[in-house]
Amino acid sequence: MTAADAGGAPAVVLIGFMGAGKSTIGRILAARLGVEFIDTDDEIVRRTGRTIPDIFATEGVGRFREIEREVVCDVLAASSGVIALGGGAVMTPAIADALAGLRVVYLQISADDGYARVAGSDRPLLAGEDPFQRYRDLLADRADTYQRVATIVVAAARGGDEVATTILDHLAADSHDADSAAERISQR
């Protein structure tokens, strides 16, 4: 039985590139819905006792992705709250598969707007020469996957409260559709 069958599926999973606002919006959404918020990057730090730049520096991106896969799949199976994934998580096929059937919101942002928010941060994938070029290249590599995995796409270059309200409107419309479908079936 999946978490969704058990009624314990996450309320919402937020995906999108670095700087899209997944953690900020996740916190607002969780507070408004009255559920827990889990940022899977924070969960990786909590479980390993290490920072993400440290994991990248000492063990490399491949090992980081393995840890990420384990942590994200555990959280998706166990939490009924709002979950924010790290920007690269959906590129791991096991994670993309685990998102099937869940409410997945893609916070979409342009390279200019997103980079303005993360420039100067300690994100390991942006270290080295020309971080803006790296940001643009990675975003271009991932954009199709974000779209494919998402059930809702929301423009994220706005204030967090406004983005959260848009998402809640989508969720309310979805559950209204689901209620009407259930009603139609029960009236047959």
Q: Which residues bind ligand S3P (CB under 6 A)?
A: 18, 22, 41, 52, 86-88, 123-125
- d(CA 120, CA 31) in angstroms, rounded, equals 29
Residue number with CB closer to ligand S3P (41 or 111) = 41
In the complex, the smallest distance separating the C-beta of residue 52 from ligand S3P, rounded to whole angstroms, is 5
Long-range contacts of 109-117 (CB under 8 A, 24+ apart): 109/16, 109/17, 109/19, 109/20, 109/21, 109/155, 109/156, 109/157, 110/157, 111/135, 111/136, 111/139, 113/19, 113/157, 114/17, 114/18, 114/19, 114/20, 114/139, 114/157, 115/19, 116/19, 117/19, 117/21
Residue number with CB closer to ligand S3P (26 or 34) = 26
In the complex, the smallest distance separating the C-beta of residue 84 from ligand S3P, rounded to whole angstroms, is 7
In the complex, the smallest distance separating the C-beta of residue 18 from ligand S3P, rounded to whole angstroms, is 4
In the complex, the smallest distance separating the C-beta of residue 69 from ligand S3P, rounded to whole angstroms, is 12
Residue number with CB closer to ligand S3P (81 or 88) = 88
Residue number with CB closer to ligand S3P (125 or 152) = 125
CB 141 within 8 A of CB 128: no
